[in-house]
Amino acid sequence: MKAPLTREQRITRNKQRLAIVLYALLAVSIVFALVRYAQTPADAVSKEPGSRTRNDYGLMVVQCVLGLAVIYLPTFLEKKLRIDIPDLLEYLYLIFLFCAIYLGEVRNFYFRIPFWDNILHAMSGGMLAVIGFYIVVILNQWDRLTLHLSPFFVAFFAFCFAAACGVVWEIYEFAVDRLLGMNMQKYLTDTGEALVGAAALEDTMEDLIIDLLSALVVSVLGYFSIRKETAKEIAAIEGK
């Protein structure tokens, strides 16, 4: 009789299975989007909620290709930089890709589910802040560099890292929309109507605000956690 799997082993197994499933879903979605792109007239305009234009299928291809390119990014970084990324963090990363690309873009959840984009940005902002904390941990373990940052500056770095990544992502969305005529910033409604004025800026500004708020929450929680651990270490040293 086999011994039951530990929590870490279950996370690793589920992570590997999710990566395979996600890879297959994105590959199939690319083929589907390319076929629909070829079949859809170039001058077709979406008039009914849920219907898609040629540009929509083009965006689906771009997003799915990007997804395929970054699915195994954590594994690549582990081998390239010789670091160990926690399996739980990798698992959450894959879940985010599944929700953002397959459910969001392929299954059209961005328009079908209210606040879907906001939920994803809250998740990504917090996850990036966690990655920011983990970067400091990696640097502290590097033999060539010794860091002695206070809990405040560690939390501040994590917050700034998440904020910077959020800004870069919005620039990426803007560049793709302008260069390829896509709708990543959702300045077009699901009926093809172009938003104008403040309404056209809402998606970008809401994304940035939610990124910052979620990163701030995680950074504050991380600050108190580090300060608590530091206090325990000092108490242990003084008690010897």
Instruction: Note the pLDDT tens digit of each residue in 168-185.
Output: 999 999 998 888 888 888
Same domain as 198, residue 141: yes
How far apart are alpha carbons 112 and 212 in whole angstroms? 25
Provide the residue range defining the domain that includes 228.
114-240
Same domain as 42, residue 9: yes
How far apart are alpha carbons 183 and 40 in whole angstroms? 17
Same domain as 130, residue 55: no
Site of tokens 């800026």: 201
Beta bridge partners of 158: none
35's tokens? 């076929």
> Does residue 51 carry a pLDDT above 80?
no
Instruction: Report percent pLDDT > 70 for the chain.
Output: 91
Same domain as 180, residue 127: yes
Same domain as 137, residue 25: no
Same domain as 233, residue 154: yes
Same domain as 75, residue 42: yes
Same domain as 192, residue 135: yes
Q: pTM for the full model?
A: 0.87
Please give the pLDDT value at position 239.
Answer: 67
Secondary structure E strands in 12-124: none
Phi, psi of 52 (to 5 degrees): -130, 150
Beta bridge partners of 188: 194
Same domain as 69, residue 51: yes
Instruction: Report percent pLDDT > 90 for the chain.
Output: 52
* Tally of domains within the chain: 2
State which of 113, 131, 158 marks the end of a domain: 113
How far apart are alpha carbons 145 and 134 in whole angstroms? 15
Phi, psi of 16 (to 5 degrees): -65, -40
State which of 69, 92, 113 marks the end of a domain: 113
Question: pLDDT higher for 214 or 230?
Answer: 214
Per-residue pLDDT band for 80 (boundaries 50, 70, 90) equals confident
What would you report as the CA-atom Rg of the chain, rounded to the nearest whole angstrom? 21
Same domain as 125, residue 71: no
Same domain as 156, residue 46: no
Contact 105, 60 (CB under 8 A): yes
Same domain as 210, residue 100: no
Please give the pLDDT value at position 53.
Answer: 85
State which of 113, 147, 166 marks the end of a domain: 113
